[in-house]
Amino acid sequence: MADLYAWPALATIAALLVYLATFILVGRMRHRHKVMAPSTDGPEEFKRAFRIQANTLEQLVPFLASLWLFAIYVSALWAAALGAIWVAGRIFYMVGYFRDPAKRGPGFVVAAATCITLLAGALIGVVCRLFVLH
């Protein structure tokens, strides 16, 4: 009698932990380089951390919405599996970008492709529910 939705819930928490890691990174860089609020400008290393966090938020919102629509209208387990890929992609993105912005590509593409897969699947699932199954 397992609750299948607990799997996308776990993927959600993993994604939030990745986001938390980007927050800790930008906080450390703000401190290391003495970037005083409200400034968000500073040395390259700070700007990378700042953009990693901002981009993770930009991607997190459509990811979470797509993940849950996919979970509800297609499959909770497949949603969670795709969610795990997204989380792995974003970890690669974060680590790659911080070392060298030119290396942010692969992780970004993996996560973005996963998100679009979730969104496309959710669209098909919702359309089927509305126009096919009743």
Q: Which residues of this protein are in contact with a second copy, per CB under 8 A?
A: 1-3, 6-7, 9-10, 12-13, 16-17, 19-20, 23, 36-40, 44, 47-48, 50-51, 53, 57-58, 60-62, 64-66, 69, 72-73, 97, 101, 104, 116, 119, 122-123, 126-127, 129-130, 134
Nearer CB in complex with a second copy: 5/88: 5
Comparing CB distances to a second copy, the nearer of 85 and 104 is 104
Closest by CA to 8, choosing from 57, 58, 74, is 74
Judged by CB, which is closer to a second copy: 85, or 103?
Answer: 103
Whether 20 contacts 95, CB under 8 Å: no
- Smallest gap from Cβ 90 to a second copy, in A, equals 14
Q: Assign 3-class secondary structure to 61-117.
A: HHHHHHHHHHHHHCCHHHHHHHHHHHHHHHHHHHHHHHHCHHHHHHHHHHHHHHHHH
Burial class (CB within 10 angstroms; exposed 0-12, middle 13-18, buried 19+) of 115: buried
**Residue closer to a second copy, measured from CB, 88 or 119:** 119
Smallest gap, in angstroms, from Cβ of residue 7 to a second copy? 7
Q: How far is the CB of 88 from a second copy (least distance, A)?
A: 18
Phi, psi of 75 (to 5 degrees): -160, 125
CB of 5 to a second copy, least distance (A): 8
